[in-house]
Amino acid sequence: MLGPSLKRQRRIKPILLQIAAIVTFVAMIFPIYALFLTSLQPESVIRSRDVSFFPSTLYFAHFAEVLSPGHIVPIVAAIGNSMIVSILTATACVLLALPAAYALARLPVPGGRFILGGLVSIYFLPTILFMIPLFIAFVNRGLNDTFLGLVLLYTGFILPFQIWILRGFIDRVPGELDEAAKLDGATYLQLFVRIIIPLVRPGILAGYLFAFILSWIEFLTPLIFTNNLKVSTVSLGLYRSTIDIQVGQLAAAAVLTLLPVALLTLIFQRLVTRVFLAGADK
Amino acid sequence: MTIPAVALVAGIYLYPAIRTVILSMSEFDLVTLEVERFVGFENFIRLFQSPSFLEILTRTVYFGLMIVALTTVLAFLVALLLNERFIGRTVLRVAVLLPWAIPPVVAGVLFGQLFHAEIGFVNAILFRLGLIDRYQVWLSDPNIALHVIIMLEVWRALPFMILFFLAGLQSLPHDVFEAAAIDGAGILSRIRHVLLPLVTPIALPLMIIQFIWAMKAFDSIFVLTRGGPGRATMTLNYYVYQQGFQNFDLGPAAAAAYVLLAVTLVVVVTIMIIQRILAKRGL
């Protein structure tokens, strides 16, 4: 028997849920929608007070202008720079983190638990704490304003997280596989190359993806370590274009900056979720 | 096999962390980039004697705690919602993930445009609804500017926390909740007595991560307000940047960076103690 109040609840609940769902959707999506809208409207419309939230025409000139080679802020070159730096960083991260993660997960590394604990807690320290001495060291060695300098810093900053991601995936490979291979006389290296690497391919993809995204969005490091427009990354380039007063072009540049990362997140949505939740099921 | 990775991490983290300790206790010569004079705790003492630094310190803690509280409560509610059945649930699950994919600088640009005095949609919407009688210059109001940045950080942090809460809720036996409902427990008492005890162990570690992220917030402040108007949106992290890389006052900047670390640790340890106490009480 259900009480009358419970019955009423059963009837009202779906409506309330639906309203809550719509409110949540609008709150999460509206800022992004507003940005796309601004990037697709002529400057005169953006600046007028009767801008329409559901426009009937779209205007692509901002993108054309931002992408044209003569633009004040070379956003195309910046996208290229970010591609180079992000791909190099992601590659270096995976190459360095994979053996380390394997060793920490499977081999009797002296002080392994300590190293792992240290790596995880280091990631949570404020980045600014390291910046001043690093800046001095990099300037002394001529590493500021270079791709190499950025890749070194990004790789160092992302590695602890990367090792943590990959170790999570390696942990899930059943130990019996190792045991069986060891009985067949396989060395740790053979085990790593023949068994672990093929089995953690999704993990490697996830690690690569995260390192790429984190490098792409990094702002403080290039802000401090690069001055030369030639090595400007996309996030820095975007910030520099905020000085420009063309609102539509700024929005278009912002859309171009977020697009690669947003697309990767959407395409690999399940993988991203899995990495986030890796710690939750332990 | 761990050596290359550990060596790089040590080079990028450990060496500078130690150098920062030395810097925080010295006067620094900018031309030679060398330590000029050892001054002990002078830099720290001077920071704590300055009223404006204490203001920044308080603001930083408020900023962090607000972000943690708002993100936790909102993420919990959205996770509860996503755990129910309604039209468009799959779409909403992807939609709530999206703010995570927005680079912080883009988020800064985006909120800057939303709250813009002349072209901002916030003004346009509120004006059309008749809630304001003229366009407001939101970001020049010290109090509002700080809360716009808090809002931005919460918006960006929500996806991560929603995911965890949702995973936690889905791992709970659904009938616990139903059973309590049939026993006649109202929705609030069901949340209070059934759900919260089950969710708290997930929430506290997430709150720690959230607070640490809030302490690292930089891009949003830099793009939106550069710490202004006045110093209204200056947090410790931004202060270290400004002292170190704009004023090149390296000693005080290094000292402030360690104060930031101390603040982070104090709050994190406090949350851990709360976690212990709750665990002992069986929550």
Mean pLDDT, residues B12-39 taken together: 78
- Report the gap between the CA of B281 and the closest CA in chain A (Å): 22
Please give the ipTM for the structure prediction. 0.86
- Asked whether the beta carbons of residue A14 and residue B212 sit closer than 8 angstroms, the reply is no
What would the DSSP string read from start to end of A195-235? Answer: IIHHHTHHHHHHHHHHHHHHHHH--HHHHHH---GGG--HH
Mean pLDDT, residues B202-218 taken together: 90
Q: What's the rounded Cα separation, in Å, for the pair B129 and B233?
A: 29
- Asked whether the beta carbons of residue B20 and residue A130 sit closer than 8 angstroms, the reply is yes
B274 occurs within a structural domain: yes
Query: What is the CATH classification number for the domain harbouring B33?
Result: 1.10.3720.10
With tokens 């009202």, the residue in question is: A12
Q: Which two tokens stand for residue B191?
A: 């949340």
Calculate Rg over the CA atoms of chain B. 23
Mean pLDDT, residues B124-150 taken together: 90
**Chain A residues near residue B139 by CB distance under 8 angstroms:** none
Size of chain A, expressed as the number of residues it contains: 282
Partner A contacted by B34 (CB < 8 A): no
- Report the gap between the CA of A126 and the closest CA in chain B (Å): 6
- Report the gap between the CA of B76 and the closest CA in chain A (Å): 12
Q: What confidence score (pLDDT) does residue B156 get?
A: 94
The kind and range of the H/E element at A272 are: helix A269-277
Partner A contacted by B91 (CB < 8 A): yes
Q: Which two tokens stand for residue B5?
A: 């990775």
- Asked whether the beta carbons of residue B158 and residue A28 sit closer than 8 angstroms, the reply is yes
Could you report the per-residue pLDDT of B177-205, keeping only the tens digit for each? 666 666 766 777 777 777 777 778 888 88
Q: Is the peptide bond before B229 cis (omega within 30 degrees of 0)?
A: yes
Q: What's the rounded Cα separation, in Å, for the pair B123 and B132?
A: 8
B262 occurs within a structural domain: yes
- Asked whether the beta carbons of residue A258 and residue B181 sit closer than 8 angstroms, the reply is no
Q: What confidence score (pLDDT) does residue B62 get?
A: 96
Please identify every stretch of chain A with a pLDDT value under 70, giving residue numbers as ranges. 1-10, 73, 242-245, 278-282
B4 occurs within a structural domain: no
Mutation target vs A (from B3, B71, B82, B105; most A CBs, 10 A cutoff):
B105
- Residue B27's DSSP bridge partners are B37
- Asked whether the beta carbons of residue A122 and residue B9 sit closer than 8 angstroms, the reply is yes
State residue A55 phi and psi, 5-degree precision. -70, 150
Tell me which residue of A241, A227, A169 sits closest to A203, measured CA to CA: A169
Q: What's the rounded Cα separation, in Å, for the pair B39 and B37?
A: 6
B111: pLDDT strictly greater than 60: yes
Could you report the per-residue pLDDT of B55-66, keeping only the tens digit for each? 999 999 999 999
Q: What confidence score (pLDDT) does residue A4 get?
A: 60
Q: How many C-beta atoms lie closer than 10 Å to residue B49's C-beta?
A: 9
Report whether A28 contacts B75 (CB < 8 A).
Answer: no
Q: Based on the structure, what is the number of domains in chain B? A: 1
Calculate Rg over the CA atoms of chain A. 24
- Asked whether the beta carbons of residue B101 and residue A262 sit closer than 8 angstroms, the reply is yes
- Asked whether the beta carbons of residue A100 and residue B2 sit closer than 8 angstroms, the reply is yes
B19 occurs within a structural domain: yes
B3 occurs within a structural domain: no
Q: What's the rounded Cα separation, in Å, for the pair B227 and B224?
A: 8
What would the DSSP string read from start to end of chain B? Answer: --HHHHHHHIIIIIHHHHHHHHHHTEEEETTTTEEEEE-TTHHHHHHHH-HHHHHHHHHHHHHHHHHHHHHHHHHHHHHHHHTS--TTHHHHHHHTTGGGGS-HHHHHHHHHHHT-TTT-HHHHHHHHTTS-SS---GGGSHHHHHHHHHHHHHHHHHHHHHHHHHHHHHHS-HHHHHHHHHTT--HHHHIIIIIHHHHHHHHHHHHHHHHHHHHH--HHHHHHTTT-STTTT--HHHHHHIIIIIS--HHHHHHHHHHHHHHHHHHHHHHHHHHHHHHHTT-
**DSSP label at A241?**
G
B16: pLDDT strictly greater than 80: yes
Output b/e per residue, B29-47; b: 16+ Cβ within 10 A: eeeeeebeeebeebbbeeb
Q: What confidence score (pLDDT) does residue A281 get?
A: 46
Q: What confidence score (pLDDT) does residue A126 get?
A: 85
- Asked whether the beta carbons of residue B105 and residue A257 sit closer than 8 angstroms, the reply is yes
- Report the gap between the CA of B168 and the closest CA in chain A (Å): 8
The full set of domains in chain A, from first to last, is: 4-66 (no CATH), 70-277 (1.10.3720.10)
B93 occurs within a structural domain: yes
- Report the gap between the CA of A184 and the closest CA in chain B (Å): 23
Categorize the per-residue pLDDT at B174 as very low, low, confident or very high, splitting at 50, 70 and 90: low
Partner A contacted by B164 (CB < 8 A): yes
What is the distance in angstroms between the CA of the first residue and the CA of the last residue of chain A?
40
Expressed as residue numbers, the domain containing B217 is 15-280
- Asked whether the beta carbons of residue A28 and residue B237 sit closer than 8 angstroms, the reply is no
B184 occurs within a structural domain: yes
Amino acid at position B154, single letter: V
